[in-house]
Structure 1
Amino acid sequence: MPSRSCPRLALLALAATLALASPPAARACSVCGCGDPQLDASDPAAASGRFRLQLASEYLSMDAGTEGAPGSTDHLKQVSLRADAVWSPAEWLSLLARVPYVRKDLTTTGPGAQGPGSSLSGLGDAELGARITLLSRVDLGRGRSHGLALTGGASLPTGSNDARRGGERLDEHGQLGTGSFGPYAGLHYAFSQGDWYAFASVTGRFHTVNGFGYQYGEALLWTAEAQYRLGQRVAVSLGLDGREAWADLDHGLAVESTGGLVLAASPAAYLSVGGGMWLGVRAQLPFYARLRGEQSVGPVLVGGVQYQAL
């Protein structure tokens, strides 16, 4: 590997991180996410012919007021194991695929609590995406590069959305999948010079109505991140992730305690262990929230490993 290559900084800083790490905004967070949905594709080291495999685990928890039961609160804990593949057949194109395995534990406390809650494990909603470079400029004299790209993709309804207990369908947000398609599109800008790499993105995401008349709210997602390489084996980064989400709709009516604004700081650290393997940890730490109804937010932790094939 080149010893001082700035693109390698991006590999260190973004490898082993999965795109959908999301600071929770209660109900909507499990679908809309927060920040760039193609974070793992931001690696400019993905030159022509490069292929990367990533495996990461994510933990999050969230609370939200129970729909139709004033005074009650839903508590959701979610652990995900996600496999990603990123392939760049050309310098101007990156293709992404993600398959998640999800465990969701949902309980309700308060006057509206009924039964022991739910606990489900299985395949979640897979995602496909692409990034197409629109403009690329390199200043060899200054060792500086700029790039502007169009991003797009969609989540697919591969996760179960009709789990039941005692004949009753479980709460929408306790289901493993959304039961709907979730297309998104956006713009991504990247800058690199020396041991520094930075990028910013903005993305809009939409969800179709599922078979039970439920529609997750549209969302505007954004990320700004700066990364710095420390020596040959370590890199650190700090980012700002955000999401402004509209309320979910149930048969066309706004759902209480869904949607709102979340801002989160996203520190990360990465280590090369040789042989094309990289280890990484990343956190999203919400520091500001303006949410609809009764909602609470908490940190998200992601740890993973990436292998890059030349």
Structure 2
Amino acid sequence: MWKSLSLIPLLVASLLVPTAGLACATCSCGDPTLTSMGTEQPFAGRLRLATQLRAWSQTTGQEAIDAVSLRELRMDVSVAYAPAPWLFLSATLPLQARTVQDVSLARETAWGLGDMEVGAKVFVFRDRDFSPDNLFGILVGTRLPTSPTQRDATGRPLSLDAQLGTGSVDPFLGLAWSGFRADWSFLASATGYLPTRGREGFRAGAALRTTLATQFQPSPRWALRLAVDGRLEGPSDTFGVKDPVGSGFIAFLSPDLLLSPTTDVVVQLGVRVPVLNRLRNVHQTPILQASIAYDL
């Protein structure tokens, strides 16, 4: 018995030794807001994995003359890591299946890897270290030509429309603000893209993408999000010859439902509905999308 009692001080001392603590993402950032990939609050060591599925189609050109219909099913696999409270590093690799058909009913099909996107989000202002109400960040990164050239059964390259990437390096730069007010949260962002020349001398036009979103979350398990997404596209060119098809402006109304079936898991279901289309000779269908994000 005396030997057992002599071990009590040693046991108490072992319990007083500090060890690393583990906490969910909500506890670590001090905010219970459900967030999609790219809109989360940062804290040092945050690691997030996500995958997103999108299905969409569009038709370019004039019907019965030179129309080209494109359909795509795309899955983006993403990872984001915060080595510091002010920095998020991210990478996204798309897996795509695409079908292109022209007015002659000739069809091309391609599937495989698309162009990877790598980026960083630098938070330049937060009104407080823990559970901030306002976050301002700078987005910087680029798309990389990781998609291989797609070829038909005879080894000939498919058309540019059927390719899963442009084969160019496309840097981007943007600004983002996030605000949090009790059950409500808000997001505003603007990102500019400046593509370089890629396959067959093609160069996509400079683009500006914007998002204005608000989210209402009455429960820790679900939230409703409504966004207006805009895209302004400049004319593309091939070896300096401009092509105005596809240039102009388009706006989408984007309702989403966010669900958290378990801690650190966010499921997002939504649709992007084109409500204002000023793109030249382009008809865009709604974009269906579903995603899941997990914090490790």
What SS is found at the alignment partner of 2:127? Answer: strand
Q: Which residue of 1 aligns with 2:248?
A: 260
Question: Contact 1:80 / 1:100 at 8 angstroms: preserved in 2?
Answer: yes
Q: Which residue of 1 aligns with 2:51?
A: 55
Q: Which residue of 2 aligns with 1:82?
A: 76
Alpha-carbon distance between aligned partners in 1 of 2:139 and 2:217, rounded to the nearest angstrom: 26
1:270 deviation in Å?
1.1
CA pair 186-233 structure 1, distance change in 2 beyond 3 A: same
Q: Show CA shifts across 1:109-128 (max 9, x none).
A: 1xxx2x63100010110110
Alpha-carbon distance between aligned partners in 1 of 2:270 and 2:79, rounded to the nearest angstrom: 19
1:71 deviation in Å?
1.1
The one-letter code of the counterpart of 1:53 is L
What SS is found at the alignment partner of 1:291? Answer: coil
Greater shift, 156-165 or 100-109, is seen at 156-165
Pick aligned residue for 1:296 from 269, 283, 290: 283
The structure having more radius of gyration, on CA atoms, is 2
Alpha-carbon distance between aligned partners in 2 of 1:43 and 1:51, rounded to the nearest angstrom: 11
Gaps of 5+ in 1: 15-39
Pick aligned residue for 1:203 from 179, 191, 201: 191
The one-letter code of the counterpart of 2:38 is A
Gaps of 5+ in 2: 1-23
Q: Which residue of 2 aligns with 1:29?
A: none
Alpha-carbon distance between aligned partners in 2 of 1:92 and 1:152, rounded to the nearest angstrom: 14
Q: Which residue of 1 aligns with 2:61?
A: 65
The one-letter code of the counterpart of 2:114 is G
- 1:8 paired with 2:32, answer yes
The one-letter code of the counterpart of 1:194 is A
Q: Show CA shifts across 1:47-66 (max 9, x none).
A: 21110100121101000017
Q: Which residue of 2 aligns with 1:17?
A: none
1:197 deviation in Å?
1.1
Question: Contact 1:65 / 1:295 at 8 angstroms: preserved in 2?
Answer: yes
1:161 deviation in Å?
3.4
1:165 deviation in Å?
5.9
Question: Contact 2:110 / 2:150 at 8 angstroms: preserved in 1?
Answer: no
The one-letter code of the counterpart of 1:8 is P
Q: Which residue of 1 aligns with 2:126?
A: 136
The one-letter code of the counterpart of 2:39 is S
What SS is found at the alignment partner of 1:41? Answer: coil
Question: Contact 2:178 / 2:188 at 8 angstroms: preserved in 1?
Answer: yes
1:306 deviation in Å?
1.4
Alpha-carbon distance between aligned partners in 1 of 2:286 and 2:30, rounded to the nearest angstrom: 30
Alpha-carbon distance between aligned partners in 2 of 1:42 and 1:306, rounded to the nearest angstrom: 11
Question: Contact 1:13 / 1:237 at 8 angstroms: preserved in 2?
Answer: no
Question: Contact 2:76 / 2:94 at 8 angstroms: preserved in 1?
Answer: yes
Alpha-carbon distance between aligned partners in 1 of 2:206 and 2:153, rounded to the nearest angstrom: 29
Higher relative contact order (CA 8 A, sep 6+): 1
Taking structure 2 as the reference length, what is the TM-score of the superposition? 0.85
| Structure 1 residue ranges (4+ consecutive) displaced by more than 6 angstroms after TM superposition | none
Alpha-carbon distance between aligned partners in 2 of 1:288 and 1:41, rounded to the nearest angstrom: 25
Q: Show CA shifts across 1:138-181 (max 9, x none).
A: 399xx862121110111110012353465653221210111101
The one-letter code of the counterpart of 2:284 is V
What SS is found at the alignment partner of 1:7? Answer: coil
Alpha-carbon distance between aligned partners in 1 of 2:30 and 2:184, rounded to the nearest angstrom: 7
Q: Show CA shifts across 1:179-211 (max 9, x none).
A: 101110011111112111111011110111014
Question: Contact 1:221 / 1:242 at 8 angstroms: preserved in 2?
Answer: yes
Question: Contact 1:6 / 1:194 at 8 angstroms: preserved in 2?
Answer: no
Q: Percent of aligned positions with the same letter in both sequences? A: 26
Pick aligned residue for 1:188 from 169, 176, 187: 176
CA pair 6-78 structure 1, distance change in 2 beyond 3 A: farther
What does residue range 222-233 of structure 1 map to in structure 2 within 5 Å?
A: 222-233=210-221
Taking structure 1 as the reference length, what is the TM-score of the superposition? 0.81
Aligned residues: 271
Greater shift, 126-135 or 273-282, is seen at 273-282
Question: Contact 1:131 / 1:152 at 8 angstroms: preserved in 2?
Answer: yes
What does residue range 216-255 of structure 1 map to in structure 2 within 5 Å?
A: 216-255=204-243
The one-letter code of the counterpart of 1:121 is W
- 1:119 paired with 2:109, answer yes
Alpha-carbon distance between aligned partners in 1 of 2:83 and 2:284, rounded to the nearest angstrom: 39
